[in-house]
């Protein structure tokens, strides 16, 4: 009996699961009690993640072999469409931080169109809080089930929401050019993420069809007060971690890029993880690798009346496991930054 | 006496010079007669480029030690603002293919504003032909001095010019998000291109201020029939070679993305180096590495009335040395593809 | 009817097959007549290798659908243990260049121990010539079936054989530390070659158990005149192409490192592809990428009486497809360098 | 007044300095009081290291502007040959952890031969303790001046010292093939560490002449009880962080590789940072990136009577800044692991 909060990590063998373990094992209020990974059940974590070998961690087990009554909270890192079924079976006393896409979309029709099938736990969807911490902090504190945003939506919304809310940019003409490291594609075996395919080159993917677009639209619509469609064009970059969003927007009549920078600076003035890039330095993924930090910037375009908005984060940390722990901290009344103080790793 | 065309490469120690040597040494009609590199004068090429060691090449000399009367053509790979002075001193019988930025901008005021000083050889500027081969082929054939386009303008203009010309897209609202490998920054010592700085991360640079924007605007204005300003936002990607442009445009009233694809396909139907990406595959830099090829694609946006245009090339080949040789071939009445048949290197 | 030699590429969908196509399609004496890839039968090459899309190539077919009577030669890029069965069924008129491991080991017991099962075409093994071109040139010229060496054996043997033959080093105490880019592991889906696993890190593999060790031992034994065992320790390096071997040997009594360098220089004096690294520059894979070149060097050790031997090549070219074409040229009486003049691609 | 130990980081603008800041700023007993970087004096750390921008750090100053009386300890990250002069001027009350090479070599003649000039503070050399923590723990606890080992010596000695000490391997025949990420070469501008030069390729360097060889020999001699010469051959690998040593040794008469593994396991049984690689998994730099951990392994060679010894660490952490803090902890009576608990970052 440690007095710590006992957590389970569901789907511990993916990159998101591994990064959650990396952070949770050093979190002073967390005890990692259960790790699940159906295909590796019975094996030590070190067998799939040798970098975790020096740690004292429980062996991986099957989901059905977890004694949920021994846990206080569950982080779920399963692939989309599989989280919902498991989560629906979990006992009520558990707080759940879902890192999958299953509870991010509020509209069942949009969910079905985006993920190719009907949602199987819509009753929980109603309860789920969208875990973009800086914008849903109060709701997260009260939540039992938090749906952590996708990595791209996190990067995008952090830089766009305050500006749309302030009326500084036109929500109806947003171009979002996004670039991600390869870990965003997960650890399952696919040809396009082999070293020789993804290395020394770059490629667009999911042009105009990526599943994160409806999620971005949902949240922009909330602050815009009307439905929106956005351009969203992701690219695969030959690096493991990191995500950079370059968004192009029309300024409202009197607004300037400097206004946008000021609005962002003010919006995140007291935020521990969201920062404006230092003067003269553009946001870059090298600035945030391994940390929960986000770097933002707003710049005048050559085309009058337009602004360029840039956001950089680590897709596995603020884009997933780090934000999950940030939400966990709020849900359990802990200091929001606890366990998330890692400085970015550079070089 | 070989009956071959005797060329000199001015500025042979840069990446552009090295790639020109790579191509020229296997060109059946070329004899490399002189290589200059002032700081390495007297040294063999292998001392700066060991990968060229197995070749039989003349040692590098100073510019002033070249006997220009022994040459038929000169490729100039000097840094911008230094080409113009040298080129102004070259004898009339030489055909000149300039890979620097010095003769790309026709308007002296734009040149001065962009490159920070007055042009020193404006009389030659008038004579210079802009060497975007597919769009200036007839002029290149007659030219004595060809100014090869920048790498970004080449990638950008090839995908945009036919569409602006056809009236399919609005030239007044072009967003050009560009991504380049690190070789685009050259071989001079700068901290941001160290392996540890540029690796495992990505960063925007020259946002809204990059020198290639006025060059793009100049050429779009020609076909649009009016001055234009474009957004142009480059990013540094952790790969050595390759450039990808993702451009976002407003469609003309009745036009569709499929129309754009059809216009591009038609425009380049007989071009040996410009290709539409195969159905279901997006253009990617991996498809063109080391070759003179360009891959294009046009895709419908989620936002109705907008189109996404993508272009990929190797910045050192079609973006520089390869296009230079393509122009050289035309200037000397050789088959346009001669010496440029290298298949892309993948992986 | 082109008058060209009609070839088939068996197993065209692997990296070795792709690189063979890259070279063969520009070979002036070759016509690519058939490409096989059982899982992609009926599809264009561009569907698996978009970088080959601009070429005019036959669609891929199943092995059993090839009309062998229409071919003059076959390059076989199948995985080991599958080549032998197919090759045993091929008509006698075909010359065969096998890039797999199936016919490299002359001793059936060593083959069985190394590849985990009995050889199924030992009668052909007797006929097969080991295709290390520089050391088996005369035999290759007469051969119908050539077994191209593995990439590691090629790099290792080129630097060691002349020295063992000259009695300059002790064949009984050879330490071979080898480093390979990821393409050496092929294109099949394995977790350890995902970008995120192989990137930004390096790992030894197959320590003391790699299948190329017996092949190296076989060939050193030939020139040593007695059986040998060697240390062979490969490492996976975060690059796509390239292989570097650092070998550590004991010098014969009076021999020096300079003697070794001289022996190597003399042995390869007239070889078009094997070069000594320029004075003051160590062999490096950057010097040979995409080319059929090999760079060698010999250096004095700090420990008296020992020498350090270094060899660098491109595992897919001189280590596989390039050497295959080099052998093909000899088998058909063509100039040995035909189709292999590509200069290394750097950067 | 925080009650914390006030430290200065001399040479804060190098990679070693930056990594020390990364670790020190989260160390519960440390207060970073002064940062020096002569060329950046007066500037915020964020101007040279944007990833440190979110932290509250003092601006950089010149060495001569530091009030040493306000400090309790100094970490010195200056280039070799410059540390000694500064350190000789520091007041006696300061504890000094030197990460440069200046106080590693005990024999002035060896120092002079290795670093090209006479030592300028030999009186301090006598006092300096070699900071290979696991092997000099008691001396480090008493030390005022600790000379942290080089990255290569740390990796090499950790795997070799216990075996030489136990008489399991022959100290007179050690082959050390070492591979390092590019950060080991520092942040100063050199052509060979540009992204395009070091990327997608690998190269040996300093073959038989690297400055870390005498340091390794010094420490092996201590446990061997006699002078030794070792082979030491480093290679530059296209990754930012990480170092892997593959050492080849002759076993003592009756010893086996399994014995070696057992000796290492026993020697480091209670060590927090030194681990044997899990069964079936070779040490790899991916396992230790960003952490103070070391992974070791011992494997039977194909050549009877030889053993292969492997060691992996992060050159900037256990190879420099991490080990410096480990020593600092001992010097100040703190728990040895304090501030060093970061889990490795993977992927």
Summarize pLDDT for B38-53 with one digit per residue, the tens.
Answer: 999 999 999 999 999 9
Q: Which two tokens stand for residue D36?
A: 């020096």
Nearest residue to C236 via CA among A201, A141, D179? D179
How many angstroms separate the CA atoms of A306 and B160, rounded? 20
Q: What's the number of domains chain D is made of? A: 2
Can you tell me the distance from the alpha carbon of B310 to that of B295, in angstroms, rounded to the nearest whole number? 8
C-beta of residue C181 within 8 angstroms of C-beta of residue C241: yes
Q: Are B319 and B243 in contact (CB under 8 A)?
A: yes
pLDDT digits (tens, 9 = 90+) for D97-124: 999 999 999 999 999 999 999 999 999 9
The Cα–Cα gap between C20 and C37 comes to: 14
Contact A316, A15 (CB under 8 A): yes
Domain assignment present for residue A273? The answer is yes
- The SS3 call for residue C235 is strand
CB contact under 8 A, D287 and A47: no
**Per-residue model confidence as pLDDT tens digits over B254-264:** 999 999 999 99
With contacts defined as CB-CB under 8 Å, which chain D residues touch A344?
22, 51-52
Which of A22, A44, A201, A346 would best serve as a mutation to test chain D binding (most D beta carbons within 10 A)? A346
Do A199 and A295 fall into the same domain?
yes
Kindly report the CATH number assigned to the domain that includes residue A234: 3.30.360.10
- DSSP letter at C240 equals S
- Sheet strands (E) in chain A: 5-10, 30-36, 60-61, 73-76, 95-98, 129-130, 145-147, 175-180, 203-204, 231-236, 243-250, 274-276, 294-300, 306-313
- Given this model, what pLDDT does residue C81 score? 86
CATH number of the domain that C63 lies in?
3.40.50.720
For chain B, the residue count is 347
Question: Is the Cβ–Cβ distance between B144 and B95 less than 8 Å?
Answer: yes
Comparing CB atoms, the residue among B193, B200, B238 nearest residue D194 is B193
> Which residues of chain A neighbour C194 with C-beta distances below 8 Å?
182, 187, 189, 193-195
Residue range B294-303, pLDDT digits in tens: 999 999 999 9
pLDDT digits (tens, 9 = 90+) for B272-298: 999 999 999 999 999 999 999 999 999
d(CA B231, CA B209): 10
B199 interaction partners in chain D (CB closer than 8 Å) = 182, 195, 199, 238-240
Q: Which stretches within chain A are classed as H helix?
A: 15-24, 83-88, 108-115, 122-127, 133-142, 151-165, 195-198, 212-224, 257-267, 322-331
Task: Identify the band that residue D33 occupies on the pLDDT scale cut at 50, 70 and 90.
Answer: very high
pTM value surpassing 0.90: yes
Chain mean pLDDT for chain B: 97
What pLDDT, in 10s, does the model give residues A111-129? Answer: 999 999 999 999 999 999 9
Are both C9 and C64 inside the same structural domain? Answer: yes
Both D306 and D164 in a single domain?
A: yes
| A189–C189 C-beta distance less than 8 A | yes
Residue in D196, D197, D240 closest to B196 by CB: D240
Query: Among residues B344, B347, B243, which one has the least CA distance to residue B289?
Result: B344
Q: How far is C142 from chain B (nearest CA, A)?
A: 29
Interface of C with A (CB under 8 A): 15, 182-183, 187, 189-191, 193-200, 238-240
What mean pLDDT do residues B90-114 have? 97
Radius of gyration for the alpha carbons in chain A, expressed in angstroms and rounded: 20
Q: Phi first, then psi: give them for residue B76, nearest 5 degrees.
A: -115, 115
What's the pLDDT at D2? 63
Query: Looking up tokens 């480029």, which residue turns up?
Result: B49
User: What is residue B169's DSSP assignment?
Assistant: B
Q: What is the pLDDT of residue D80?
A: 85
* Residue of C45, C53, C337 to mutate, interface with B, max B Cβ within 10 Å: C53
Q: Across the interface, do A193 and C194 touch by the CB < 8 Å criterion?
A: yes
Asked whether the beta carbons of residue C347 and residue B288 sit closer than 8 angstroms, the reply is: no
Backbone angles phi, psi at D248, to 5 degrees: -120, 125
In the complex, which subunits touch A with 3 or more CB pairs below 8 angstroms?
Answer: B, C, D
**Residues D264, D212: Cα–Cα separation, whole Å:** 23
Residue B249 has pLDDT above 70, yes or no: yes
What is the strand order of the sheet A5-10 is part of? A60-61, A30-36, A5-10, A73-76, A95-98, A145-147, A129-130
A200 and A299 in one domain? yes
Residue A242 in any domain: the answer is yes
Give the pLDDT of residue A2: 63
The pLDDT assigned to C2 comes to 63
Residues of chain C with C-beta less than 8 angstroms from the C-beta of B55: 343
Residue ranges making up the domain that contains D39: 5-127
- Phi first, then psi, for residue B235 (nearest 5°) are -135, 145
Neighbors of chain D by Cβ distance (3+ pairs < 8 Å): A, B, C
Instruction: Write the DSSP string, C5-33.
Output: EEEEEESTTSHHHHHHHHHHTT-TTEEEE
Decide if pLDDT at B1 tops 60.
no
Beta bridge pairs of residue D35: D9, D60
Which residue in C288, C295, C343 is closest to B22 by CB distance? C343
Residue D297 and residue D168 in one domain: yes
CB A40 within 8 A of CB A48: yes
Question: Is B307 a residue whose pLDDT tops 60?
Answer: yes
Q: Is the pLDDT of residue D73 over 90?
A: yes
Q: Report DSSP state, residue C120.
A: S
Closest C-alpha among B18, D53, B225, B104 to residue A280? D53
A151: annotated active-site residue: yes
Query: Which chain B residues have a beta carbon less than 8 Å from that of A284?
Result: 201-204
The nearest CA of chain B is from the CA of D190 a distance in Å of 7
Peptide bond between residue B338 and the one before it cis (omega within 30 degrees of 0): no
Distance CA A133, CA A146 (A): 10
| CB contacts, 8 Å: B281 with chain C | 46-47, 50, 53
D146 in a domain, yes or no? no
Q: Which positions in chain C have a beta carbon within 8 angstroms of at least one beta carbon in chain B?
A: 15, 18, 21-22, 25-26, 44, 46-47, 49-55, 183, 199-200, 240-241, 275, 277-278, 281, 284, 286-291, 293, 295, 316, 341-347
Half-sphere exposure (Cβ direction) of B343: Cα atoms closer than 13 Å: 27
A138: in domain: no
Asked whether residue C337 is assigned to any structural domain, the reply reads no
A-D Cβ pairs (cutoff 8 Å, strict): 105
Question: Both tokens of residue B345?
Answer: 């290197």
Cβ-Cβ contacts under 8 Å, A295 against chain D:
50, 53
Of D22, D278, D346, the CB nearest to A18: D346
pLDDT (tens digit, 9 = 90+) per residue, D163-209? 999 999 999 999 999 999 999 999 999 999 999 999 999 999 999 99
- Is residue C341, in this structure, part of any structural domain at all? no
Residues on chain D touching A26 (C-beta within 8 angstroms):
341-343
From first to last of the 347 residues of chain A, give the pLDDT tens digit: 469 999 999 999 999 999 999 999 999 999 999 999 999 999 999 999 999 999 999 999 999 999 999 999 999 999 888 899 999 999 999 999 999 999 999 999 999 999 999 999 999 999 999 999 999 999 999 999 999 999 999 999 999 999 999 999 999 999 999 999 999 999 999 999 999 999 999 999 999 999 999 999 999 999 999 999 999 999 999 999 999 999 999 999 899 999 999 999 999 999 999 999 999 999 999 999 999 999 999 999 999 999 999 999 999 999 999 999 999 999 999 999 999 999 999 99
Chain C residues inside the 8 Å CB shell of B51 = 286-289, 291, 343-346
Q: Which residue in the list B76, B151, B196, B260 is annotated as catalytic? A: B151
pLDDT (tens digit, 9 = 90+) per residue, B130-184? Answer: 999 999 999 999 999 999 999 999 999 999 999 999 999 999 999 999 999 999 9
Mean pLDDT over residues C180-190, rounded?
Answer: 96
Q: pLDDT value at position A251?
A: 98
Are A204 and A70 members of one domain?
Answer: no
Q: What is the pLDDT of residue A81?
A: 86
Confidence of residue B2 (pLDDT cuts 50, 70, 90): low
Q: Are C256 and C264 in contact (CB under 8 A)?
A: no
Task: Examine residue C331 and state whether it is found in any structural domain, yes or no.
Answer: no
- Nearest CB among B26, B50, B183 relative to C278 is that of B50
Interchain contact, D46 vs A347, CB within 8 Å: no
Token pair, residue D180, equals 């390092």
**C205 and C278 inside one domain:** yes
- Of the candidates B21, B51, B281, which has its C-beta nearest C288's C-beta? B51
Q: In what order do the strands lie in the sheet with B203-204?
A: B203-204, B231-236, B175-180, B243-250, B306-313, B294-300, B274-276
Look up tokens 């985006």; give the residue.
Answer: A114
Q: Is B170 in the same domain as B260?
A: yes
Residue D301: φ, ψ to 5° = -85, 165
- Asked if A22's CB is within 8 angstroms of D345's CB, the reply is yes
Q: Could you tell me if A274 and A169 lie in one domain?
A: yes
C67 and C161 belong to one structural domain: no
| Distance from the first to the final alpha carbon of chain A | 40
In a domain, B118, yes or no: yes
**B281/C50 touch (CB, cutoff 8 Å), yes or no:** yes
Q: Which residue has the tokens 């920054």?
A: B185
Minimal-distance CA residue of chain B relative to A286: B201
Q: Among all chains, which residue has been given the structure tokens 């337009």? A: A306
- SS3 for D247? strand
Cα–Cα distance list, B65 to B8, B68, B93, B98, D122 (Å): 12, 9, 18, 20, 52
* Tokens at D76, concatenated: 């010195």
- Residue B67 neighbours by CB distance under 10 Å: 10
**Residue of D181, D196, D201, D278 to mutate when probing chain C, most C C-beta within 10 A:** D201
Cis bond leading into B114, ω under 30°? no
Average pLDDT of span D297-308: 97
CB-based contact D240 B193, cutoff 8 Å? no
Say yes or no: C122 and C18 in one domain.
Answer: yes
What pLDDT score was predicted for residue D81?
86
B310 and B162 in a common domain:
yes
Q: Is the pLDDT of residue D1 over 90?
A: no
pLDDT digits (tens, 9 = 90+) for C130-142: 999 999 999 999 9
């Amino acid at each position: 009996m440690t007095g710590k909060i006992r957590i389970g990590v569901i789907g511990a063998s993916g990159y998101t699961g591994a990064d959650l373990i990396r952070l949770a094992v050093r979190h002073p209020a967390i005890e990692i009690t259960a790790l699940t990974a159906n295909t590796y059940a019975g094996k030590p974590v070190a067998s799939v993640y040798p970098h975790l070998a020096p740690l004292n961690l429980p062996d991986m087990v099957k989901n059905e072999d977890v004694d949920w009554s021994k846990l206080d909270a569950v982080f779920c890192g399963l692939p989309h469409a599989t989280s919902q079924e498991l989560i629906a079976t979990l006992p009520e006393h558990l707080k759940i931080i879902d890192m999958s896409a299953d509870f991010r979309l509020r509209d069942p029709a949009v969910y079905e169109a985006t993920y190719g099938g009907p949602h199987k736990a819509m009753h929980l969807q109603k309860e789920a809080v969208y875990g973009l911490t800086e914008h849903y902090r109060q709701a997260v504190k009260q939540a039992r089930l938090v749906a952590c945003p996708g990595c791209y939506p996190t990067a995008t919304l952090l830089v766009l929401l305050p500006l749309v809310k302030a009326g500084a940019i036109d929500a109806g003409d947003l171009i979002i050019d996004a670039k991600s490291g390869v870990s965003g594609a997960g650890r399952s075996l696919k040809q396009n993420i082999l070293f020789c395919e993804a290395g020394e080159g770059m490629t667009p993917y999911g042009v105009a069809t990526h599943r994160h677009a409806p999620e971005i639209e949902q949240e922009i619509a909330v602050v815009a007060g009307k439905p929106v469609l956005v351009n969203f064009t992701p690219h695969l970059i030959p690096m493991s971690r990191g995500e950079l969003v370059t968004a192009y927007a029309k300024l409202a009549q009197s607004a300037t890029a400097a206004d946008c920078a000021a609005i962002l600076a003010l919006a995140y003035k007291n935020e521990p993880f969201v920062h404006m890039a230092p003067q003269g330095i553009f946001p870059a993924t090298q600035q945030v690798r391994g940390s929960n930090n986000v770097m933002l910037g707003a710049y005048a375009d050559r085309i009058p009346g337009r602004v360029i908005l840039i956001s950089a984060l680590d897709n596995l940390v603020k884009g997933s496991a780090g934000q999950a722990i940030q939400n966990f901290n709020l849900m359990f009344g802990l200091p929001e930054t606890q366990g998330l103080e890692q400085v970015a790793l550079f070089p």
